[in-house]
Amino acid sequence: MNILASLSRKPWIWSFVAAFVVWIATILFTGGASTIGLSQAALTFAAFSILVGIGQMFVITLGPGNIDLCVPATMTLAGTVALKFMQVDNSLILPGLVVAIAIGVAVGMGNYALIKLLQIPPIIATLSMSFIVQSTAIWTNRGLRIKPPEALAKFTTETTVGIPNVALVALILSVLAFILLQKTIYGRWIAAIGQSIRAARMAGIPVDGTRFITYVLCSALAAICGYLLASFSGGAALNMGSEYLLMSIAVVVIGGTAVAGGNSNVAGIWGASLFMFLVVSMLNTYGAGAGIRLIMTGVIIIAVIVVAGGRNPNQR
């Protein structure tokens, strides 16, 4: 009983419970026929939300008003340029990844430069930046669909011991993010800044440096996600990031990270990402149309936040 009680106090547990319930509901409907297929698909698609979600979580932890709207544009640009650079050549896979990450880092630096130098609220700064990045992506892409190198496409679509490779990548990066957040001084710093930026500054925390690194980290993760997603779906498309704008924010909040900042958790993002994918596939199995599916998704997001959101009445 004690274990149950302490588990129910963990902010991330609800997203896993919800994901599990939806998983069971879907499997019962199909009579267990699709268990493995559904689980693998869920892990694969959740992996992409997890990657952008972790980056967004770091930014949201910085406190009210901090949010990165540039994520979709960064994903598209990184995916496009990296695929173009690799030229379907297997030997250029690693340099391609480096190119993608470099683009992410550059976008992140641009974002923070706008926030700091022009003192623009992060929402507007990253929004303006996303317009510019999006234009650059349109300019480089020119509507062509460039194929990924064969080995990379194979890697992103295949499984190792039954687990999709992209999910393994997401797992490794999540563990790194967890260590970064919980065990390093940097993790303590961003939590402190999120709780009170004034107090953090007075305590001698390098506020600017920490925020700078956080925005760069978020863009870099978005770039890695764009690189993998473009390879997974057989080429970069200009609209490939668009659904990840709302998704990246939704998984962070459903996962139990405080929107007011200063408190975050990595595990919840996994539960929330699986949950978001499973809800859509459950409604698909039940044969719901696009309209009903959207409405149900929205209602479920609100229901989760209403049930889980009342934990801490003093936080907004």
Partner 1 sequence: MKKVLSSDTIRLLIPALSLTVLLISVFYLQPRAMSYVGLNLLFNLAVPIALATIAQMLIMTVNDLDLSMGTFVSFVACVAATFLEATPVIGVLVLAAAIATYAALGVLIHVRNLPSIVVTLGMSFVWGGLAVLILPAPGGEAPGWVRAVMISRPPFVPMAIIACVIIAVVSHFVIMRSSFGVILRGVGGNARSVERAGWSILGARATTYALAAFFAILAGISLVGLTTSADANIALRYTLLSIAGVILGGGEFTGGRVSPVGAVIGALTLTLAGSFLSFLRISPDWQIGAQGAILIVVLGLRLLLNRLENRGKRS
Q: Which range in 4-12, 45-53, 64-72, 218-226 contacts partner 1 by CB under 8 A?
A: 64-72
- Long-range (24+ apart) CB contacts under 8 A made by 178-181 are 178/266, 178/267, 181/58, 181/264, 181/266
Q: Give the shortest CB-110-to-partner 1 separation in angstroms.
A: 10
Tell me if 118 contacts partner 1 by CB under 8 A.
yes
**Which residue in the block uniquely carries the two structure tokens 């974002």?**
111
Pick between residue 122 and residue 164 the one whose CB is nearest to partner 1.
122
User: Taking a C-beta distance cutoff of 8 angstroms, is the pair 79, 145 a contact?
Assistant: no
Tell me if 127 contacts partner 1 by CB under 8 A.
yes
Tell me if 259 contacts partner 1 by CB under 8 A.
yes
Among 36, 87, 131, 150, binds partner 1 (CB under 8 A): 131
- Long-range (24+ apart) CB contacts under 8 A made by 298-304 are 300/18, 301/250, 301/254, 304/14, 304/15, 304/18, 304/254, 304/275
* Alpha carbon distance 291, 235 (integer Å): 28
Tell me if 299 contacts partner 1 by CB under 8 A.
yes
Tell me if 316 contacts partner 1 by CB under 8 A.
yes
Tell me if 284 contacts partner 1 by CB under 8 A.
no
* Alpha carbon distance 148, 234 (integer Å): 6
Among 34, 40, 128, 159, binds partner 1 (CB under 8 A): 128
Q: Give the shortest CB-150-to-partner 1 separation in angstroms.
A: 30
Tell me if 95 contacts partner 1 by CB under 8 A.
no
Q: Is the backbone of residue 161 left (phi > 0), alpha (psi -120 to 50) or beta?
A: left
- Closest C-alpha among 265, 280, 316 to residue 15: 265
Tell me if 287 contacts partner 1 by CB under 8 A.
no
Q: Give the shortest CB-261-to-partner 1 separation in angstroms.
A: 11
Tell me if 204 contacts partner 1 by CB under 8 A.
no
Tell me if 280 contacts partner 1 by CB under 8 A.
no
Q: Which two tokens stand for residue 314?
A: 């003093």
Strands (E), the chain: 159-160, 163-164
Q: Residues in the site for partner 1, rule: CB under 8 A? A: 64-65, 67, 69, 114, 118-121, 123-124, 127-136, 138-139, 246, 249-250, 253-254, 259-260, 289-302, 305-306, 309-310, 313, 315-316
